Amino acid sequence: MPVTKLKETTALIYADNAATTKISEEALNTYIKISKEEFGNPSSLYTVGQTAKEVLEQAREDVAEIINAEPREIIFTSGGSEADNQAIISAAKIGEKNGKKHIVSTAFEHHAVLHTLKKLESEGFEVTLLDVHENGIVSPEEVEKAIGNNTCLVTIMFANNEIGTIQPIKQIGAICREHNVLFHTDAVQAIGHLPIDVKEYNIDMMSASGHKFHGPKGTGFLYVKKGIKIANLIEGGAQEKGKRAGTENVPGIAAMAVALKAANGGIKEHTDSLKAKRDRLIEGLYEIPHSILNGDAERRLPGNVNFCFEGIEGESLLLLLDDKGVAASSGSACTSGSLDPSHVLLAIGRVHDVAHGSLRLSIEDDITDEDVEYIIRSVKEVVEYLRGFSPVWRDLASGKKQFIL
């Protein structure tokens, strides 16, 4: 009865790149080299300090160039969450000064955004969370309608971390510019995977995280358009123009810049074949009865697949896929330690019963067509096996209850 335990080869198919990516050889080598050779403190006056400073500033230039920003508009942070916190809190402080205490966002932002907004709400801010509709895409018209005279910030993610849907950032940016409202975007899932031009898109602030594009963990940055007054989260020394205290993570930052260059440079080369693999996965998984793709089929990250399967629970699915050598993730409550399934799936209208049975595959172009077929076969086997002793499935299959999907 139990499903076959291990795949024939012991090789791991890593399909959870939205959670984190493996550091690239190039980034790792940079990290090691800089750690050894440029160990100085960039704030020190002697040569070994100043050469470390040069490495730091070169990384800043490289990162800035990729997003069409100026080096002085980049603040290095510990990652995406810190960047999100700093951007939103800064905009709130500016707003408060001008008597504007309303923020527009969406219901399916990352918790780094949602929890920061919750905190601001408790401090008297009003927050509008826009609907993301069943396709997982915000409507620019609704953004415009939500903006009022007291709005100080619009914060909308570039691409969703669970369902991969890409938001109409350019249009939202234009609307914010027209209404003279600050626009922040959490681009953690997008940068390195989609081309981003902060000027063309009218982005005022943007968050990024190094480990989502094969850089090291604990690295990230916040782009802040010049002229916007940023508030400090960490007080101390004068690093990062006094906006982020603490000795700079020089090797991490240098490695992140190397990784971003490579990722951004590879977008053109990989996107088409990655999309083909993604679409084959979607096609293959749709052969499973009573299943549904979450999020728009076209306007989604080239490597993101997210499905719900009725009658099963996601954690069991993940554990059995792991036994077969496939690493994936789920929005099931059981995988998060909370009672509710993913807020993203609930936001696109999936009911609890269905949202518990979700699977996210986030692939990169290193997986082969054989891997894709292996994943499809494995998911089919595991879903069928779990449905085989699911009382929920029994009730659905026997007609005692109505299928939702």
Partner 1 sequence: MALYSEKVMDHFRNPRNVGVIEDADGVGEVGNAKCGDIMKMYLKIDDDIITDVKFETFGCGSAIASSSMATELIKGKPVDEALQLTNKAVAEALDGLPDYKMHCSVLAEEAIKNALDDYHSKQASKKE
Kindly state whether residue 315 participates in binding partner 1, applying the rule CB under 8 A: yes
Binding residue (CB under 8 A) for partner 1 from 205, 341, 364, 375: 341
Kindly state whether residue 352 participates in binding partner 1, applying the rule CB under 8 A: yes
Kindly state whether residue 394 participates in binding partner 1, applying the rule CB under 8 A: yes
Which residues, other chains included, contact 49 with Cβ-Cβ below 8 Å and sequence gap of 6+? Answer: 40, 41, 42, 43
Binding residue (CB under 8 A) for partner 1 from 9, 391, 398, 399: 391
Which residues, other chains included, contact 337 with Cβ-Cβ below 8 Å and sequence gap of 6+? Answer: none
308 is catalytic: no
Of 46 and 389, the one with the shorter C-beta distance to partner 1 is 389
Convert residues 2-21 into a mask of x (bound to partner 1 by CB under 8 A) and - (unbound). Answer: x--x----------------
Place of tokens 């953690």: 188
Ramachandran bin of 240, using left for φ above 0, alpha for ψ from -120 to 50, beta for the remaining angles: left
Of 179 and 394, the one with the shorter C-beta distance to partner 1 is 394
Q: Which stretch binds partner 1 (CB under 8 A): 148-156, 176-184, 293-301, 308-316?
A: 308-316
Kindly state whether residue 140 participates in binding partner 1, applying the rule CB under 8 A: no
Kindly state whether residue 138 participates in binding partner 1, applying the rule CB under 8 A: no
Q: Interface residues for partner 1 in 354-373 (CB under 8 A)?
A: 356
Q: Quick one: DSSP state of residue 260?
A: H
Kindly state whether residue 313 participates in binding partner 1, applying the rule CB under 8 A: yes
| 355's tokens | 């949202």
End-to-end alpha carbon distance in the chain: 27
Kindly state whether residue 312 participates in binding partner 1, applying the rule CB under 8 A: yes
Kindly state whether residue 327 participates in binding partner 1, applying the rule CB under 8 A: no
Q: Interface residues for partner 1 in 173-192 (CB under 8 A)?
A: none
Of 231 and 392, the one with the shorter C-beta distance to partner 1 is 392
Binding residue (CB under 8 A) for partner 1 from 337, 398, 399, 400: 337
Residue 32 CB: number of other CB atoms within 10 A? 12
Of 70 and 381, the one with the shorter C-beta distance to partner 1 is 381
| Residue 327 and residue 364 in contact, taking contact as beta carbons nearer than 8 Å | no
153 residue type, one letter: L
Of 107 and 334, the one with the shorter C-beta distance to partner 1 is 334
Measure the CA–CA gap between 137 and 190, rounded to whole angstroms: 15
Binding residue (CB under 8 A) for partner 1 from 353, 365, 381, 384: 353
Q: Minimum Å distance from CB 375 to partner 1?
A: 20
| Residue 66 and residue 264 in contact, taking contact as beta carbons nearer than 8 Å | yes
Phi, psi of 322 (to 5 degrees): -60, -40
Measure the CA–CA gap between 39 and 212, rounded to whole angstroms: 25
Measure the CA–CA gap between 34 and 48, rounded to whole angstroms: 11
Measure the CA–CA gap between 195 and 34, rounded to whole angstroms: 28
Q: Which stretch binds partner 1 (CB under 8 A): 14-22, 279-287, 359-367, 389-397?
A: 389-397
∠ CA 128-133-135 to the nearest 5 degrees?
140
Kindly state whether residue 316 participates in binding partner 1, applying the rule CB under 8 A: yes
Q: Minimum Å distance from CB 291 to partner 1?
A: 16
Measure the CA–CA gap between 211 and 218, rounded to whole angstroms: 8
**Which residues are at the interface with partner 1 (CB under 8 A)?**
1-2, 5, 311-316, 319-320, 323, 332-335, 337, 339, 341, 352-353, 356, 389-394
Residue numbers annotated as active site: 334
